[in-house]
Chain A
Amino acid sequence: MEEVVLRLEGATYRHSVYAPLPLKPWRRIKGPGIFEINLTLQKGTILGLVGPNGAGKTTLLRVLAGILPIHRGRVYSRSEEIVLDRQQLRQSVGHMPEQVRWQGRKTVRQALLELGEMRHASEKRIDGILKLVGLSSRKDSALSELSQGMRQRLTLAVALLGSPKILLLDEPLNGLDPVGAAAFISLLKTLTEKGVSIVLSSHQVEGLAGIIDRLALMHRGHILAEGTLKEVAKGLHLDSKTEIKGTGQVPHFSNYEIQDEDVEIEIQDNHWTARLEQAQPHLLAKLINDGVEIAEWGIRQPNVVEMLCAATGQSIEDVGLEVASNAYVPLRTFGGEEE
């Protein structure tokens, strides 16, 4: 079993929101947030936090970064029962917030030196980090002159200042060009090899499966499912799909004991693509025997979006376009039961 570096137990934080009344215009009430979060971070792994807008990903990262207090619950260090306070959390965590808009005449190096004062980071260490994130050639550039990708790199450099054991990244790939994103992912892999645990929140879920070791699906402040991709898919009863591409006449899948509703067919010119709901290990041989022209055949694992939809019990449109509602209770639990 992997070494545990941090454990959240029943962590709850609720934002305070304005709810003015005619005679009490200053009134505030407890609003959305994160609820009863149980999460374990393992050494040298990347945990992907995925959820629609307003799911609570950023709030959870801020709690883990020691920026927001926990109203209920506890944070434990490693596998031992050591309760961490916010100050101790900040010692061991490096936080990269979403879209920091660095601006001003200050240089990149000066900005790092200033924040480095708060972490006892030496100038040598700062120069090393600048090199690591690929900013050493721009260290004397003014912050206002940086492109979005460079700003992202600088924010990562700040997160790395204290040689953190845990790195929290909120939408780190935003603004990075494809080459920059690939280099960034490679850097993350290097860091995990050195034992750094990473929590990564991202909307760019398509490429996420290749980066993360574990996945946590968030919705309305709750973690609906957490585990490796396979564990999450299994817990949500999502099977692998079979994808077949061929040319010529589209075969009648009902002849192969496959229900019409379990097949999705796309036809383009002389080519067709069929997606079958379940893995069909013997189908290929049968189709070839019957003379069907097969160009490609593959088993496709369920993707992160499908998992999120399955976990929330909503369609892609509902999950993607939903504005955070007043109901803070998830529609379905991990097991798929209605609450």
Chain B
Amino acid sequence: MSDFTRVMKLAKRLTLERMFSTRMYIMLPVLLLFIPGMAWGFSDPNIVLPGGHQPESAMEVLFYASLGVVFGATMCAVLLSYDAVSRERASGVLELRLSQPMPRAHQSLAMILGSWKAILIPTWILLIISVFIVRYRMGEWISFADFLVYFSSTALILLWYILFTLLASSYTREQGTAISFGVGMWFLFTFLWALITTMVAFASGVSIGQENDASWIMLEGALDLLSPNGVYHHLLETRLPQIDRGIVAWQSWFMGLLWTVLPSWAFIRRMEKILP
């Protein structure tokens, strides 16, 4: 059996364990309400968004519905993986794992993939349901390219949250600290990032609160590259030509790559040095 197959088999076991855990059953109704629920709401033919705007295409509806991923699925990712390392460390199971001949980098990779797939599979299923809801309500399918970008971007944002949470879990000895870090990070990027953007804009002399102010939009677009939620929206916006925030597609994808590689590297390196 190759190393890759072993990693994938171990990841599958971890996925099944987490995907059918009690906390997933608790989070599932929340995900159901957030993801297909938002798709249902935003695809209402009579909807009028703030500013009198009406969604023009199926992809635009799914872009708005991606708020369900940002609010629900990312929180679920945090709650599913916050104790992946810290609980095993506290119980002594981590010591057993570390004494196995499988290289630690492979174990870490299996842990990342296992935790990621546990939230990715239900989220993707709900996104597929959302696509069908939008088709039912608007009579329009998204294009294949839209589909690829939408699903891959969603996979990436969930991976980033999983990586941050695993990293926190590997550094903390108490599960309370691990979940505090995860939830704190979620709050920062989901709610507080707008505040940070506003503060930076104020410090830079950019006018705040004026709609369609070009300098404000550009600054917000640039700062969003430093937030996983922001990069997620930039990636989705690559399929919405009517939105221009001064960031081109390759910049968004490059930042997506950085957000993936750096935390993965940090987590694997951390696990290679971790003590039981």
Q: How far is the CB of A322 from chain B (nearest CB, A)?
A: 24
- Give a binary string over B243-273; 1 marks a CB under 8 Å from any A CB, 0 the rest: 0000000000000000000000000000000
A26-64 interface with B by 8 A CB criterion: 62
Neighbour of B100 across the interface among A68, A110, A119, CB < 8 A? A119
Q: Is A67 in the interface zone, CB < 8 Å from B? A: yes
A97-B95, A100-B92, A100-B93 given as contacts; is B10 within 8 A of A117 (CB)?
yes
Number of interface residues of B (CB under 8 A): 25
B180 CB contacts on chain A under 8 angstroms: none
Which segment, of A88-96, A130-138, A182-190, A253-261, faces chain B? A88-96
B99 CB contacts on chain A under 8 angstroms: 65-67, 90, 93-95, 97
- Evaluate contact between B101 and A118: CB separation under 8 angstroms: yes
Neighbour of B13 across the interface among A93, A104, A117, A162, CB < 8 A? A117
| Cα–Cα distance between A62 and B92 once the two chains are bound (Å) | 13
- Evaluate contact between B276 and A118: CB separation under 8 angstroms: no
- Evaluate contact between B96 and A158: CB separation under 8 angstroms: yes
Q: Whose C-beta in chain A lies nearest to the C-beta of B13?
A: A114
Q: Is B165 in the interface zone, CB < 8 Å from A? A: no
Q: Is A99 in the interface zone, CB < 8 Å from B? A: yes
| Cα–Cα distance between A114 and B102 once the two chains are bound (Å) | 12
- How many interface residues does chain A have, given as a range? 20 to 34
- Evaluate contact between B95 and A95: CB separation under 8 angstroms: yes
Neighbour of A101 across the interface among B91, B102, B103, B107, CB < 8 A? B91
- Give a binary string over B109-148; 1 marks a CB under 8 Å from any A CB, 0 the rest: 0000000000000000000000000000000000000000
Q: Whose C-beta in chain A lies nearest to the C-beta of B92?
A: A100
Q: Is A120 in the interface zone, CB < 8 Å from B? A: yes
Q: Whose C-beta in chain A lies nearest to the C-beta of B21?
A: A105
- Give a binary string over B11-25; 1 marks a CB under 8 Å from any A CB, 0 the rest: 001100100011000
Q: How far is the CB of A313 from chain B (nearest CB, A)?
A: 32
B195 CB contacts on chain A under 8 angstroms: none
- Evaluate contact between A118 and B92: CB separation under 8 angstroms: no
Q: Is A87 in the interface zone, CB < 8 Å from B? A: yes
Neighbour of A102 across the interface among B14, B21, B91, CB < 8 A? B91
A77-124 interface with B by 8 A CB criterion: 87, 90-91, 93-95, 97-106, 110, 113-115, 117-120
- Evaluate contact between A113 and B13: CB separation under 8 angstroms: yes
Q: How far is the CB of B2 from chain A (nearest CB, A)?
A: 11
| Cα–Cα distance between A309 and B98 once the two chains are bound (Å) | 35
| Cα–Cα distance between A100 and B101 once the two chains are bound (Å) | 19
A90-B100, A117-B6 given as contacts; is B95 within 8 A of A100 (CB)?
yes
Q: Whose C-beta in chain A lies nearest to the C-beta of B9?
A: A117
Q: Is B203 in the interface zone, CB < 8 Å from A? A: no
A87 CB contacts on chain B under 8 angstroms: 101, 103
| Cα–Cα distance between A105 and B103 once the two chains are bound (Å) | 27
Q: Is A155 in the interface zone, CB < 8 Å from B? A: yes
Q: Whose C-beta in chain A lies nearest to the C-beta of B103?
A: A87
- Evaluate contact between B96 and A162: CB separation under 8 angstroms: no
> Mind listing 19 A-B residue pairs with CB under 8 Å?
A62-B276, A66-B99, A67-B276, A90-B101, A91-B101, A95-B99, A97-B99, A98-B92, A101-B92, A106-B17, A114-B13, A114-B14, A117-B102, A118-B6, A118-B10, A118-B100, A118-B102, A119-B100, A119-B102
Task: Give the B-binding residues of A (Cβ under 8 A).
Answer: 62, 65-68, 87, 90-91, 93-95, 97-106, 110, 113-115, 117-120, 155, 158, 162
